[in-house]
Every structure is written in structure tokens, then in C-alpha cells.
Amino acid sequence: MDLSPLGMAAPSMKERQACWGARDEYWKCLDENTEDASKCKKLRSSFESSCPQQWIKYFDKRRDYLKFKEKFEAGDFQPSKMTAKS
Amino acid sequence: MLLLARAPKAWHRLFQLKPLALPGTPGGKAQHVRYQLFSTPSPAETGRQGQPQGPGLRTRLLVTALIGAGLGGAWLAVRAEKERWQQQQRTEALRQAAVGQGDFSLLDHRGQVRCKADFRGQWVLLYFGFTHCPDICPDELEKLVQVVRQLEAEPGLPPVQPLFITVDPERDTVAAMARYVQDFHPRLLGLTGSAEQIAQVSRSYRVYYSAGPKDEDQDYIVDHSIAIYLLSPDGLFTDYYSRARSAEQISDSVRRHMAAFRSVLC
């Protein structure tokens, strides 16, 4: 990626697809290991080297949201005791 | 023939309805009249008419039906006239909007100035996004060009112009746009401009956008509303499609709009 005065150029289609592939591999590993990131260190570093930092933060947040949504839809989520009292 | 004979008597009975409208006599006369109209004829009445009850009732019903039909017809005629007038007003408003609203002056990815009038006569599918977008913009643009390709393959349909307008004018220069659009469709046109021009066109199409915080690489993500807009050959906003709509659903919708389209511009 060449550096322009405004920072790095946007990833090309190939670079995007490489990033998404690495992300999907990493997420598949997390799915298989019940979110245990320590078991997926290699895929994590591959993911981090394939994607811009902003995208990694974005995808991590997205992962959190998707997992939360799964729990919520399965009815696993319980309101904390604090909110019940207030 | 029978009706003509009955009619004067029936009208006479109708005029007897008038006292009913007056608030004056709660009992007495009004009641008496009403009773007269709806009850069986008294022996005196029967004597006057010299007829049994049947035809008298039928006459009354027939006259009521005729008056009802007359009023109904008049009401329908007035309603049709009102709808015609409203349609004229709407068409006039659309004509003014087509000329004035949603105009823009932007640079395409080849460096040429483009404004809304350049696209008159064409159906346009428009998407607002930015080239540094992680996943949503590429997905939506891929879906958009899929629609364009599906419609291109159908004979007899006019070609649809795909447009991509950036909400990140700071980074999305003409060169950046050129690099980006080439990955999707040869006819996909990327549009960029100054911060003011982009703000103006986003306002026209009610697109929200907000650049996030920059990180160490000076990289940032622009939060923005996600929708594919359909513009008619008159340049008017016709429909919009959210993330949830598939390419097939959008193609169907565009086809329907094309079939129903009537230009308001001469």
C-alpha cells in the first residue's frame, strides 16, 4: 500500500478479499474454541497483518455485537441486578 | 306509466317530510307526519288513492332510489374532478422539483464536472459511501452492479446508470475513486468534490455521514446512512433500497418503476 499525504491508500479489491478471508479464518477458529482467543493466536496475527488497523477494530466490535445478538436472541441475556433494583 | 301516475302523490308525501326537519314540535305534528309516511295507509288514505298498500311502497322506494342514484352520481363526478385537479397539482410540483431539487456539481473519477442534468433521461441507481469502507460499501456496491447487470441482460429495458458518491471527500480524490470503481462495473461512475459540494449533495438526498476519530495511521471510518437510491429519468427520487433487500428484489422493483413511468418533463 503506497503512502499518500493523507495516509495509506484504500485497500484494493484483492486486499479487501485477503483481509476478509483472514478475518473469516480467525472467526471460525473462535467459533470452534468458544471465543478462546489464546487458541487462535496464529490466525489473529495473520488477520492483523492482512487488514488496516481501523478495520481490525471495526471487525472486533462487529464480532462482539454479533455474539451479543446471538445471546440475546437465544434468551441467555439477563438484566443485571442493578437495573432490576433501580 | 304507472310511475308518472304515482309520482305527484309520492312527491307530495316527500314534502310532508319537511316538518320533521324543524326542531319545533317534538310530539304532535312531526310524529304524525312520520307515522303517516312509514305506516300502512289509514282507511281514509286508502280510500283517496283507491289502491292497496303495495305499489305505494314500491313507488316510494323507487323514488328514493332514484334520488339516491342521482346524488351518488353527482358525488362521483365531483370526486373525479377533484382527483383530476389534485393530479395536475402533483404533476406541476414534480416538474418544479425535477428542475430545481437535488442538483449537484461534482467531479467524476475521470476528472470531468458532472451535474444532475447530465443524467436526465436515464434511470440512476445511486449509493453514498467511501473507499476506505471495511465491508458494507463493497457489499452494497456489488449488489448494486448485480442489479445493473441483471437489467442489462434483459432486452427492451433502458440501461441503468450506477453512481457512487463519496462521503469522504478528504481522502477520496479523483484518483482514489478511479482505483475504487474499476473493481465493480465498467459503467460505475464515481463522484467526488469539495467538502461543501459533498455536504450539499448529501443534504439533498438526506444522507447522514460522520467521520470517526483518526488513529495513528491517520485512518478513520465514516459512519453513514446506508441506502441505494433509484432516480427516474426526470431526475426525481423514486425509491430507495435498504441493506435487507436482495439484488433480485431491487431488480423487480426497478422493472416495475420502469413500466409505470410517465415523464413530467416535456
pLDDT at B55: 66
Q: Which residues, listed in sequence order, are joined to residue B222 by a DSSP beta bridge?
A: B211
- Residues of A within 8 A of B179 (CB-CB) are 9-10, 12
**Domain shared by B130 and B87, yes or no:** no
**Domain shared by B115 and B191, yes or no:** yes
ipTM for this prediction: 0.79
Q: Is A59 exposed, middle or buried (0-12, 13-18, 19+ CB in 10 A)?
A: buried
| Number of domains, chain B | 2
- Residues of A within 8 A of B171 (CB-CB) are 6-7, 10
pLDDT at B15: 54
**Domain shared by B183 and B143, yes or no:** yes
Q: What residue of A is the nearest CA neighbor of B177?
A: A10
Question: For residue B27, what is the DSSP state?
Answer: S
Whether B9 is in a domain gets the answer no
- Residues of B within 8 A of A20 (CB-CB) are 135
pLDDT at A13: 94
Please report, in tens digits, the pLDDT of each residue of chain B (266 residues total). 444 445 555 555 555 554 444 444 444 444 455 545 555 555 554 445 555 555 689 999 999 999 999 999 999 999 999 999 998 888 788 777 766 677 899 999 999 999 999 999 999 999 999 999 999 999 999 999 999 999 999 999 999 999 999 999 999 999 999 999 999 999 999 999 999 999 999 988 889 999 999 988 889 999 999 999 999 999 888 999 999 999 999 999 999 999 999 887 76
Distance from CA of A85 to the nearest CA of B (A): 36
CA distance linking residue A81 with residue B205, whole number of Å:
45
**Domain shared by B127 and B249, yes or no:** yes
**Domain shared by B137 and B199, yes or no:** yes
pLDDT at B255: 95
**Domain shared by B78 and B126, yes or no:** no
Of B74, B97, B120, the position where a domain reaches its end is B97
Of B76, B97, B118, the position where a domain reaches its end is B97
pLDDT at A83: 53
CA distance linking residue B187 with residue B192, whole number of Å:
16
CA distance linking residue B53 with residue B245, whole number of Å:
68
**Domain shared by B192 and B242, yes or no:** yes
**Domain shared by B111 and B85, yes or no:** no
**Domain shared by B173 and B79, yes or no:** no
Of B97, B116, B145, the position where a domain reaches its end is B97
Domain positions in chain A = 13-74
Q: Which domain holds residue B78?
A: 65-97
What is the mean pLDDT of the segment spanning A64-68? 92
Q: Which three cell numbers stand for residue B257?
A: 418503476
The more confident residue out of A75 and B234 is: B234
**Domain shared by B254 and B122, yes or no:** yes
> Model confidence over B227-255: pLDDT tens digits?
999 999 998 889 999 999 999 999 999 99
**Domain shared by B83 and B157, yes or no:** no
Whether B57 is in a domain gets the answer no
CATH number at residue B157: 3.40.30.10
pLDDT at B93: 80
B133 assigned binding-site residue: yes
What integer best gives the mean pLDDT of chain A? 84
**Domain shared by B135 and B259, yes or no:** yes
B12 assigned binding-site residue: no
A9·B179 Cβ contact <8 A: yes
> Model confidence over A30-50: pLDDT tens digits?
999 988 888 899 999 999 999
